[in-house]
């Protein structure tokens, strides 16, 4: 989690800035002394129109607009009066909505944190399987049977040594006789677990065997190999950032919560022990 | 711009005679196409190995899955399918023995995305009194949570969900669109052409009066097309349970986006006869030309085996088939609000549907039930498990535990499906040339797929007129199959001469699985009297067994040790290959043929539960079974038409 520290610091910094800004730009608008007037300006009207349009796919006519404005004014009056009466307190829906808005804010900030390359590189190293291209191996195989006699194996080997067409050697079978460059998991899924690791050390271009699969014994010839690799960060940056954000979002929002909670002295009963 | 248009016009206006001049003579063309190369692997364009996948899986985004406590979302489902270890919703580490090659994620579209918001107590949910009640039930956990979940499902199927909730999680609502975007983008993140294919899809959950008419939909396309639409639902006024509405959506999707989509049904066994109609549809429609054309166009595939029962055949319909009695669920409809009667069965099972298709083709000119076969899990745990020793159940409530077998899938006054009847099935194998959305999707369209109940049995099935026993000695069975015949899912080539159709069939056991007992060919046909017929032929088998006069084969035996849940491949065969000729062919009769491969007996999942948890099983629990593969059919149509 060490790689978290730096972004976490950014995160809290950005968070503090944003929350501070909110505190600055909305002084007393939501609370405090009741204002004498309710002003509904053009911006508010535009907002009402936009909302109407998303639902009805057309602008409101003048009657509808008047009704919208009247409704909004009514809502504003009632909300203010409800606040004065303290009706917002203890309402589970309102509280949950407020808490959710804070979560949204934290999420938005988390997804704005731009991790540095060193962090992403460390993340790739910590999760190689998710980003590495697997090694690949191509081979040909001759099936010798489930439990061939030693002389049958010998016969196959000497035919190969004598240069006979390999396709005619061994026992016919439905297994693929040649696999193109294929990842280890797919090789094992086709021939049984462990088959790939038996092929891995083999020299390219040489018939070797017998090698055991889930079906029996084989002669195999590796025809091509390609090493697996971790692509350079630049090639997969987008995918890594997405994965990193998903993995760290939870840690970040927990850290954010702890940061906020740290500003309170919290007294609560302790159960258990 | 004008000049460009002028150019285009000139191009279009080239007279046809000029084109005719451009056709080269046969002599000139010779040599343009090189002869067949020496290397048998050069220019190969047919598939070497089947690609394994699941066409049907739910995550916590599905209403029922999430309500029953599934907290895993698409990301975890994809990672699991690719072979990564994940922690299940009940906190258990789980991993597939072998990764899948591809998957279609099919969350229910109705109230898609509601469940995670319920779990989180989002204001949009708890501002509704019913939503608040469910949330509190969910939070309480245990029996309360189960009750809440059941209440949600009941309200869904009775179409009595609170209006405000329905509106907030249906097409038109932001939450619905965002959930779709979540599904689409997750698939895109995990789609890795060449290694793993992640299909964008959904389940259209039509279940009027508890009659299962569900369809899954898979798209060939990526987000650019998928995000131009939102998927259709079934709850009015936002959707309709009539499949016609789904067909209209599919039509519009293709027209609007230029994309491609297919739909496929499942669990006819829970439709009480409405899945494969011949006269009337459930929705007061007729099985007319429009119906058969739509069904044939949009549904080239059928999910024949899955957790809620195997739907290939039923002993009532196929009394001469001793293997038809396999994992059938035949108590009632999906919620057992109506019991099953024998007359319903013919409208429910795949083999019967294939037969009915012949009859409808004779009558209406189009075969509506000309589908390929597939298997799927339909798990609601985000975990695509179909192996007996690694079975994570239907829903989170029946993930592995000492007591899961005691939970009935459903129980009410009319009947019960006990928990031990869940089926650890199945997967779909696809003969596709590469592991990409387009290649796999196209294989579905040409029906080059087969179903298994979980094991990765290899199956080749080719039909033609010229196969003979020398083809059995070939080292390249697929070369011969594709060259001299057609693969599973196709129509036989036009008949030449006066022979009967011949089939080249090869079956290979799962590399880590049980040996094979036998290969069978199932033939269905419409005789001269307009009667639908069927016959099961044993065509290849293991060990030294001989057919009796009726064509019956002695049983292969059973090596399962009930004390250790193990078996031995000392019986059965690793591979079975044969060329089979239809001995009772009548060129005037429409027919289809498909292959069924049976493994030797192995333990059912309940036996692993018994041993791992040291529990007692219900007395009548089935402990061993013969898992199987079903090929897509090959059809024969008389030439006279």
Question: Would you kindly state where each structural domain of chain A is located, as residue ranges?
Answer: 2-114, 133-226
Question: Counting one residue from A and one from B, how many pairs have CB atoms under 8 Å apart?
Answer: 77
Q: Contacts of residue B475 in chain A, CB cutoff 8 Å?
A: 167-168, 172, 177
What's the pLDDT at B592? 98
Question: A30-62, pLDDT tens digit by residue?
Answer: 555 555 688 888 888 888 888 888 777 788 998
The tokens describing A182, both together, are: 């294929």
Question: Measured between alpha carbons, how far is A213 from B575 in angstroms, rounded to an integer?
Answer: 14
Question: Measured between alpha carbons, how far is A149 from B256 in angstroms, rounded to an integer?
Answer: 64
Backbone angles phi, psi at B358, to 5 degrees: -60, -40
Q: Is B506 in the A-facing interface, judged by CB distances under 8 Å?
A: yes
Q: Is A215 in the B-facing interface, judged by CB distances under 8 Å?
A: yes
What's the pLDDT at A125? 86
Q: Is B126 in the A-facing interface, judged by CB distances under 8 Å?
A: yes
Question: B536-546, pLDDT tens digit by residue?
Answer: 999 999 999 99
- Between CA A74 and CA A80, with CA A77 as vertex, the angle to 5 degrees is 145
B165 with B150: CB under 8 angstroms? Answer: no
Q: Contacts of residue A111 in chain B, CB cutoff 8 Å?
A: none
Q: Would you place residue A204 in the very low, low, confident or very high pLDDT band (cuts 50, 70, 90)?
A: very high
Residue of B nearest to A189 (CA): B98
Q: Would you place residue B41 in the very low, low, confident or very high pLDDT band (cuts 50, 70, 90)?
A: low
Chain A: nearest CA to B80, how far in angstroms? 12
Q: Would you place residue B306 in the very low, low, confident or very high pLDDT band (cuts 50, 70, 90)?
A: very high
* Residue that the structure tokens 């083709």 belong to: B361
pLDDT at B7 > cutoff 50: no
Which secondary structure element, helix H or strand E, spans residue A256, and what is its range? helix A233-261
pLDDT at A19 > cutoff 80: no
- Pick the residue of B197, B198, B512, B574 with the most A CBs within 10 A to test the interface with A by mutation: B574
The tokens describing B606, both together, are: 């309940």
Q: Is A190 in the B-facing interface, judged by CB distances under 8 Å?
A: yes
- B284 burial level (CB within 10 Å; 0-12, 13-18, 19+): exposed
Q: What's the whole-number mean pLDDT along residues B311-325? A: 97
- A127 burial level (CB within 10 Å; 0-12, 13-18, 19+): middle
Q: In this complex, do B195 and A183 lie within 8 Å of one another by their Cβ atoms?
A: yes
What's the pLDDT at B6? 40
Q: What's the whole-number mean pLDDT along residues A243-247? A: 80
Q: In this complex, do A172 and B475 lie within 8 Å of one another by their Cβ atoms?
A: yes
Task: Tell whether omega for the bond before B54 is within 30 degrees of 0, i.e. cis.
Answer: no
Nearest to A11 by CA among A261, A268, A257: A257
Question: B249-304, pLDDT tens digit by residue?
Answer: 999 999 999 999 999 999 999 999 999 999 999 999 999 999 999 999 999 999 99
What's the pLDDT at B357? 98
- Pick the residue of A159, A168, A172, A228 with the most B CBs within 10 A to test the interface with B by mutation: A172
* Residues recorded for chain A: 273
Q: Would you place residue B8 in the very low, low, confident or very high pLDDT band (cuts 50, 70, 90)?
A: very low
Q: Contacts of residue A174 in chain B, CB cutoff 8 Å?
A: 458, 460, 477, 506-508, 575, 577
Question: B428-444, pLDDT tens digit by residue?
Answer: 999 999 999 999 999 99
Please state whether beta strands B102-105 and B51-54 pair in parallel, antiparallel, or not at all (unpaired). parallel
Nearest by CB to A93, which of B127, B460, B475? B127
Chain B: nearest CA to A134, how far in angstroms? 10
Neighbours of B140 (CB within 10 A): 12
Residue of A nearest to B101 (CA): A186
Q: In this complex, do A192 and B84 lie within 8 Å of one another by their Cβ atoms?
A: no
Helix (H, G, I), strand (E, B), or coil: what is residue B375? strand
Nearest by CB to B511, which of A129, A180, A191? A191
What's the pLDDT at B1? 41
CATH topology of domain A133-226: Chitinase A; domain 3 (3.10.50)
Chain A: nearest CA to B356, how far in angstroms? 34
- Pick the residue of A142, A190, A194, A238 with the most B CBs within 10 A to test the interface with B by mutation: A190
Q: Would you place residue A240 in the very low, low, confident or very high pLDDT band (cuts 50, 70, 90)?
A: confident
Helix (H, G, I), strand (E, B), or coil: what is residue A51? helix
Nearest by CB to B511, which of A134, A146, A190? A190
Rg (CA), chain B: 25
Nearest to B166 by CA among B239, B220, B226: B239
Question: Measured between alpha carbons, how far is A182 from A189 in angstroms, rounded to an integer?
Answer: 11
Which secondary structure element, helix H or strand E, spans residue B137, and what is its range? helix B129-140
pLDDT at B95 > cutoff 80: yes
Chain B: nearest CA to A170, how far in angstroms? 10
Chain B: nearest CA to A36, how far in angstroms? 32
Question: Would you kindly state where each structural domain of chain B is located, as residue ranges?
Answer: 51-106+174-443, 114-168, 456-636
Question: B614-638, pLDDT tens digit by residue?
Answer: 999 999 999 999 999 999 999 999 9
Question: B358-414, pLDDT tens digit by residue?
Answer: 999 999 999 999 999 999 999 999 999 999 999 999 999 899 999 999 988 888 899
* Residue that the structure tokens 């462990």 belong to: A194
What's the pLDDT at B3? 44
Q: In this complex, do A180 and B48 lie within 8 Å of one another by their Cβ atoms?
A: yes
A117 with A240: CB under 8 angstroms? Answer: no
Q: Is B189 in the A-facing interface, judged by CB distances under 8 Å?
A: yes
Question: Measured between alpha carbons, how far is B366 from B368 in angstroms, rounded to an integer?
Answer: 6
Q: Contacts of residue A167 in chain B, CB cutoff 8 Å?
A: 40, 475-476
Residue of B nearest to A104 (CA): B122
Whether ipTM exceeds 0.85 = no
B221 with B437: CB under 8 angstroms? Answer: yes
Chain B: nearest CA to A11, how far in angstroms? 24
B308 with B329: CB under 8 angstroms? Answer: yes
Q: Contacts of residue B473 in chain A, CB cutoff 8 Å?
A: 172
pLDDT at A164 > cutoff 70: yes
B285 with B242: CB under 8 angstroms? Answer: yes
What's the pLDDT at B181? 95
Q: Would you place residue B13 in the very low, low, confident or very high pLDDT band (cuts 50, 70, 90)?
A: very low
Residue B287 CA, chain-centre distance (Å), reads 23
What's the pLDDT at B155? 86
pLDDT at B519 > cutoff 90: yes
Q: Is A111 in the B-facing interface, judged by CB distances under 8 Å?
A: no
Q: What's the whole-number mean pLDDT along residues B585-606? A: 97
Helix (H, G, I), strand (E, B), or coil: what is residue A227? coil
Q: In this complex, do B122 and A96 lie within 8 Å of one another by their Cβ atoms?
A: yes
Residue of B nearest to A165 (CA): B39
Which secondary structure element, helix H or strand E, spans residue B309, and what is its range? strand B309-310
Average pLDDT value over all residues in chain A: 83
Question: B497-516, pLDDT tens digit by residue?
Answer: 899 999 999 999 999 999 99
Q: What's the whole-number mean pLDDT along residues B600-622? A: 96
Q: Is B132 in the A-facing interface, judged by CB distances under 8 Å?
A: yes
What's the pLDDT at A24? 64
Nearest by CB to B49, which of A183, A185, A190? A190
* Residue that the structure tokens 């209406």 belong to: B364
Q: What's the whole-number mean pLDDT along residues B174-192? A: 93
Average pLDDT value over all residues in chain B: 91
Question: Measured between alpha carbons, how far is B162 from B166 in angstroms, rounded to an integer?
Answer: 6
- In percent, the amount of chain B with pLDDT more than 90 equals 79
In the Cβ-directed half-sphere of B121, how many Cα atoms lie within 13 Å?
17
Chain A: nearest CA to B12, how far in angstroms? 40
Q: In this complex, do B507 and A93 lie within 8 Å of one another by their Cβ atoms?
A: no
Question: Measured between alpha carbons, how far is A30 from B174 in angstroms, rounded to an integer?
Answer: 27
Question: Measured between alpha carbons, how far is A13 from B304 in angstroms, rounded to an integer?
Answer: 57
Residue of B nearest to A136 (CA): B195
Nearest by CB to A185, which of B99, B506, B577? B99
Chain B: nearest CA to A23, how far in angstroms? 24
Q: In this complex, do B121 and A96 lie within 8 Å of one another by their Cβ atoms?
A: yes
- In percent, the amount of chain B with pLDDT more than 70 equals 93
Instruction: For helices A2-25 and A233-261, give the axis angle rounded to 10 degrees.
Output: 60
Neighbours of B17 (CB within 10 A): 7
Start-to-end CA distance of chain B, whole Å, equals 51
Nearest by CB to B460, which of A174, A180, A239? A174
Task: Tell whether omega for the bond before A272 is within 30 degrees of 0, i.e. cis.
Answer: no
């Amino acid at each position: 989690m060490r790689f978290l520290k730096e972004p976490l610091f950014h995160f809290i910094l950005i968070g503090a800035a944003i929350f501070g800004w909110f505190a600055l730009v909305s002084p007393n608008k939501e609370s405090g002394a009741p204002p004498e007037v309710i002003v509904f300006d053009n911006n508010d009207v535009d907002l009402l129109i936009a909302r109407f349009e998303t639902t009805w796919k057309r602008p409101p006519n003048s009657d509808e607009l008047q009704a919208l404005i009247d409704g909004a004014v009514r809502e504003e009056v009632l909300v203010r009066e409800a606040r004065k009466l303290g009706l917002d307190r203890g309402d589970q829906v309102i509280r949950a909505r407020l808490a959710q808005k804070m979560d949204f804010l934290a999420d938005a900030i988390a997804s704005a944190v731009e991790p540095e390359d060193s962090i992403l590189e460390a993340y790739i190293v910590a999760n190689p399987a998710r980003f590495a291209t697997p090694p690949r191996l191509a081979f040909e195989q001759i099936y010798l049977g489930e439990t061939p006699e030693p002389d049958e194996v010998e016969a196959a080997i000497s035919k190969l040594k004598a240069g006979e067409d390999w396709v005619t050697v061994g026992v016919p079978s439905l297994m693929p006789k040649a696999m193109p460059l294929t990842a280890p998991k797919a090789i094992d899924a086709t021939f049984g677990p462990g088959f790939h690791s038996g092929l891995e050390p083999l020299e390219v271009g040489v018939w070797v065997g017998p090698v055991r699969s889930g079906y029996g014994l084989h002669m195999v010839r590796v025809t091509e190999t390609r090493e697996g690799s971790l692509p350079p960060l630049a090639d997969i940056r987008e995918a890594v950032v997405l994965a990193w954000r998903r993995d760290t979002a939870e840690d970040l929002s927990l850290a954010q919560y702890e940061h906020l909670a740290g500003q309170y002295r919290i007294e609560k009963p302790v159960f258990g022990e | 711009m004008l000049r460009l248009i002028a150019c285009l016009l000139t191009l279009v206006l080239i007279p046809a005679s000029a084109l005719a001049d451009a056709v080269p003579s046969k002599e000139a063309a010779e040599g343009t196409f090189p002869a067949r190369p020496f290397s048998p692997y050069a220019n190969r364009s047919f598939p070497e190995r089947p690609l394994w996948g699941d066409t049907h899986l739910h995550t916590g985004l599905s209403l029922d899955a999430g309500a029953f406590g599934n907290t895993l979302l698409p990301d975890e489902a994809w990672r699991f399918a690719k072979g990564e270890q994940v922690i299940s919703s009940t906190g258990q580490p789980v991993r597939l023995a072998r990764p899948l090659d591809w998957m279609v994620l099919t969350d229910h579209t109705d109230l898609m995305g509601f469940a995670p918001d319920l779990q989180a107590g989002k204001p949009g949910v708890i501002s509704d009194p019913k939503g608040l009640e469910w949330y509190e039930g969910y939070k309480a956990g245990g029996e309360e949570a189960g009750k809440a979940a059941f209440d949600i499902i009941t309200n869904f199927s009775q179409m009595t969900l609170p209006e405000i909730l329905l509106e907030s999680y249906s097409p038109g609502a932001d939450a619905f669109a965002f959930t779709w975007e979540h599904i689409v983008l997750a698939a895109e993140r995990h789609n890795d052409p060449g290694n793993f294919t992640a299909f964008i899809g959904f389940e259209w959950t039509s279940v009027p009066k508890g009659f299962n008419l569900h369809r899954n939909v898979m798209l060939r396309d990526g987000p650019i097309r998928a995000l131009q639409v939102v998927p259709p639902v079934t709850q009015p006024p936002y959707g309709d349970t009539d499949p016609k509405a789904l067909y209209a959506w599919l039509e519009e999707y293709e027209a609007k986006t230029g994309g491609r989509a297919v739909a496929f049904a499942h669990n006819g066994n829970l439709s009480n006869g409405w899945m494969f109609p011949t006269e009337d549809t459930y929705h007061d429609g007729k099985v007319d030309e429009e119906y058969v054309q739509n069904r044939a166009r949009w549904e080239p595939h059928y999910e024949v085996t899955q957790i809620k029962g195997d739907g290939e055949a039923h002993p009532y319909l196929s009394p001469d088939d001793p293997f038809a009695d396999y994992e059938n669920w035949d108590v009632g409809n999906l919620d057992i609000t109506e019991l099953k009667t024998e007359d319903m069965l013919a409208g429910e099972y795949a083999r019967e549907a294939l037969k009915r298709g012949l009859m409808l083709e004779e009558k209406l000119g189009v075969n509506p039930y000309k589908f390929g076969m597939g298997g799927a899990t339909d798990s609601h745990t985000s975990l695509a498990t179909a192996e007996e020793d690694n079975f994570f159940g239907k829903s989170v409530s029946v993930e592995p535990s000492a007591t899961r077998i005691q939970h009935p899938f459903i129980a009410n006054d009319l009947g019960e499906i006990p928990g031990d009847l869940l089926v650890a099935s199945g997967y779909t194998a696809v003969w596709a040339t590469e592991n990409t959305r387009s290649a796999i999707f196209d294989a579905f369209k040409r029906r080059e797929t087969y179903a298994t109940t979980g094991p990765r049995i290899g199956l080749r099935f080719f039909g033609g007129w010229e196969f003979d026993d020398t083809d059995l000695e070939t080292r390249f069975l697929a070369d011969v199959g594709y060259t001299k015949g057609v693969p599973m899912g196709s129509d036989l080539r036009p008949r030449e001469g006066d022979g009967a159709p011949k089939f080249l069939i090869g079956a290979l056991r799962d590399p880590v699985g049980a040996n094979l007992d036998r290969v069978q060919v199932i033939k269905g046909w419409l005789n001269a009297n307009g009667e639908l017929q069927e016959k099961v032929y044993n065509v290849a088998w293991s060990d030294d067994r001989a057919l009796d006069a009726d064509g019956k084969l002695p049983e292969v035996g059973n090596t399962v040790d009930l004390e250790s849940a193990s078996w031995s491949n000392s019986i059965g065969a690793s591979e079975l290959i044969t060329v089979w000729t239809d001995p009772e062919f009548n060129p005037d009769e429409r027919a289809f043929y498909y292959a069924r491969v049976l493994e030797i007996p192995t333990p059912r999942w309940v036996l692993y539960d018994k041993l791992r948890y040291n529990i007692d099983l219900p007395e009548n629990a089935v402990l061993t079974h013969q898992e199987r593969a079903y090929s897509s059919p090959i059809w024969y149509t008389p030439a006279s038409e």
